[in-house]
Amino acid sequence: MANSTKNLHHDGAPIISILMKPSKIKWITGVGVFVGLWTGSALIASDNPPSGAPTAGQIFETMRENYATLKSYSDSGQICTALDGGTNVTDFTTRLARPGFYRIQWNQPDSSDPGTHAAWSLGVSSYIQMGTGIQRQPDRDVSLANLTTSSGGEVATVPTLFFNPQTTDWADKVIGLERLADDKIGKIDCYQITGQLETGETKTFWIGKDDFFIYQIRTEADPGVLRAAWTSTTGHPVPGPDVHSFSSIETFTNIAVNVKLYRPDFVPSCPMFDEQINR
């Protein structure tokens, strides 16, 4: 795994040569991969790390519990999704604070719907902005659930762990966890564990040994899984040439936890957002 990760990077940045048509990846949700160098600094470690040689299940559960202890969390990053030789890139930032403040902002410059998109709340109402404009959400949980059907769902990975650590759909569906050889992401020593979703995708996690944050997730799907996903979603066989493979790379940078965040931190960086929420 470590070698294949390095092959996707040059001087710490993803190499992207062919831009993927967004229509080819819209139907694949809940599939994500985290690869890249971490450049921030985590400010806390887990209060109750597993002792001795922890199992994959212990590492995974300690990671989930760790996010639940945080008062605030922020990061920035990039998602690179690849399917049959094409790629699609999403840049994102995340700001989270209890009890109910959040701003998840992303941009897909190479998609059919470029520009800034966001989901946010200043502690009361929840909103999502995409190509159809700003839409008020019934509550935070619905807003985060809707993120799984926009931007591929990857931008909701940490927010769902932060707010709902014991009811996170994607985490609950990872089965057959196994521990692989320990690895490094940049200078961060990580546990490496792998498992599968019920739909067949293979997920590999790099979890910090000192702080139990996720630094990398690789998700891969073979042709059979892709054909089944397409048929399940559309009710029809895959049109045109057969698909061959899928992977996605998500990079987290500038991670900071338990620092004080302010109201402007949760306002998306676009004038139209200010106009909408201040009505």
Residue 10: what pLDDT?
A: 27
Residue 87's CATH number: 2.50.20.10
Q: How far apart are CA 166 and CA 117, in angstroms?
A: 27
**Number of helices followed by number of strands (H, E) in the chain:** 7, 14
Residue 227: what pLDDT?
A: 77
Most confident of the following: 15-29, 122-136, 141-155 = 122-136
Most confident of the following: 28-32, 155-159, 208-212 = 208-212
Assign 244 a pLDDT band (cuts: 50, 70, 90).
confident
**Average pLDDT over the chain, rounded to an integer:** 75
Task: Report the pLDDT averaged over residues 268-274.
Answer: 62
Q: How far apart are CA 229 and CA 31, in angstroms?
A: 11
Contact present, 60 and 262 (Cβ < 8 Å): no
Residue 40: what pLDDT?
A: 35
* Residue 214 domain boundaries: 2-277
Please tell me which residue, 17 or 66, carries the higher pLDDT value.
66
Number of domains making up the chain: 1
Q: How far apart are CA 140 and CA 126, in angstroms?
A: 6
Assign 100 a pLDDT band (cuts: 50, 70, 90).
very high
CA 198 to chain centre: 18
The DSSP annotation for 122-184 comes to ESS-EEEEETTEEEEESSHHHHHHHHTTSGGGGGGHHHHHHH-TTS-HHHHT-EEEEE---EE
Q: Is 125 exposed, middle or buried (0-12, 13-18, 19+ CB in 10 A)?
A: middle
Please tell me which residue, 92 or 269, carries the higher pLDDT value.
92
Q: What is the pTM of this model?
A: 0.74
Percent of the chain with pLDDT strictly greater than 90: 31
